[in-house]
């Protein structure tokens, strides 16, 4: 593991923001870090990047211990926070040179690092412009470029697509994919489409607690385990069929939907469903509506404990 964190906790006064969150990254992975606003994503990422000290737990980053070797750990991570404090009166290359100085890069190496960061973040056309004149998408690229200075093996990106239009999001997605050849990436977002398009694995947190850690293929499989089916019958009276379906333990939900029923059925019970429909009004139409990843995500979040720690 290039990064392994176990039982990370963080308390702000009486408020417990993180409750023993654990995650790990394999070299070359792009891992999506998911959760609703206030779930603890940014707090976790700030701890890993060295901006906050944990109240409990341990982390090892590229072989260095976060508690006993914090400076070495910081050198292993390029961090793009959700709100990057850019110096907007500086030109792009001047700002990146300034970041290289702050990171302690040798004078003889700084120019090469800046050129590489500009190239990898696709900033060629705007490298001589002042940051305040850049679009939101190009400012995000500048933020990514500063994270690349020093060629860290791990990139921690906190909501990098926030505020971007759809075209900019698509371009940024391709950029992140291209960086995976040389970096391990932890990508925080609450946009499921971005995770599905970019990541190989997903970690979900809610209310500061672990909820899920599995490959994106397994998350897709969850979406197929319970299927939504729209049922229409020959009879006008839907009540007998709805009553019969509600009594079945393999039916997760059954509700009226215009002139039919919307039924959530566990995988492997379609034959029983058809037989039940035929016995209670006769089958007229059966159409499948697969659950989206957003629905699976909402189900996971709904499993979190309802009490907030204080």
**Do the domain assignments include residue 158?**
yes
128: which residues sit within 8 A by CB, 6+ positions away? 91, 92, 93
Q: Which pLDDT belongs to residue 270?
A: 83
Domain boundary, last residue among 221, 238, 256 = 221
**Do the domain assignments include residue 124?**
yes
Q: Which pLDDT belongs to residue 303?
A: 53
Mean pLDDT, all residues of the chain: 88
Q: How many distinct structural domains can be found in the chain?
A: 2
Domain boundary, last residue among 221, 239, 255 = 221
Q: Which pLDDT belongs to residue 309?
A: 38
Helix (H) or strand (E) holding 265: strand 260-266
What is the C-alpha to C-alpha distance for residues 190 and 97, in angstroms, rounded to an integer?
32
- Give the rounded percent of residues in the chain with a pLDDT score beyond 90: 62
What is the C-alpha to C-alpha distance for residues 171 and 150, in angstroms, rounded to an integer?
24
Answer whether residue 179 shows pLDDT above 70.
Answer: yes
- Which CATH number characterizes residue 136's domain? 3.40.50.300
Q: Which domain holds residue 249?
A: 226-291
Do 169 and 141 share a structural domain? yes
Q: What is the mean pLDDT of residues 27-52?
A: 91
**Do the domain assignments include residue 75?**
yes
148: which residues sit within 8 A by CB, 6+ positions away? 78, 116, 117, 120, 121, 155, 179
- Give the model's confidence band at 83: pLDDT under 50 very low, under 70 low, under 90 confident, else very high: confident
Instruction: Kindly write down the DSSP assignment for every residue of 154-214, as one continuous string.
Output: EEEEESTTTT--HHHHHHHHHHHHHHTTT-EEEEEES-HHHHHHH-SEEEEEETTEEEEEE
- Give the model's confidence band at 223: pLDDT under 50 very low, under 70 low, under 90 confident, else very high: low
Answer whether residue 183 shows pLDDT above 50.
Answer: yes
């Amino acid at each position: 593991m290039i990064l392994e964190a176990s039982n990370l906790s963080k308390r702000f006064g009486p408020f417990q923001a993180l409750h023993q969150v654990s995650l790990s990254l394999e070299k070359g992975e792009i891992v999506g870090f998911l959760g609703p606003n206030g779930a603890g994503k940014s707090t976790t990422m700030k701890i890993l990047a060295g901006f906050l000290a944990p109240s409990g737990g341990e982390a090892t980053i590229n072989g260095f211990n976060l508690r006993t070797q914090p400076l070495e750990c910081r050198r292993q991570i390029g961090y793009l926070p959700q709100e990057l404090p850019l110096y907007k009166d500086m030109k792009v290359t001047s700002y990146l040179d300034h970041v290289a100085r702050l990171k302690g890069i040798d004078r003889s190496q700084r120019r090469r690092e800046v050129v590489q960061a500009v190239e990898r973040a696709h900033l060629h056309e705007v490298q001589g412009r002042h940051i305040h004149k850049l679009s939101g998408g190009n400012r995000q690229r500048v933020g990514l470029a500063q994270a690349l200075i020093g060629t860290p093996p791990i990139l921690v990106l906190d909501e990098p697509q926030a505020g971007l239009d759809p075209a900019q999001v698509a371009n940024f997605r391709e950029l992140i994919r291209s960086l995976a050849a040389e970096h391990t990436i932890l990508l925080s977002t609450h946009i499921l489409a971005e995770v599905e398009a970019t990541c190989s694995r997903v970690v979900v947190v809610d209310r500061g607690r672990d909820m899920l850690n599995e490959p994106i293929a397994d998350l897709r499989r969850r979406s197929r385990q319970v299927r939504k089916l729209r049922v229409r019958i020959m009879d006008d009276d839907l009540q007998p069929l709805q009553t019969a379906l509600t009594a079945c333990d393999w039916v997760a939900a059954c509700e009226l939907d215009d002139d039919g029923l919307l039924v959530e059925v566990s995988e492997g019970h379609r034959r029983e469903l058809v037989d039940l429909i035929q016995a209670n009004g006769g089958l007229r139409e059966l159409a499948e509506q697969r659950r989206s990843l957003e629905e699976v995500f909402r189900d996971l979040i709904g499993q979190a404990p309802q009490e907030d720690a204080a």
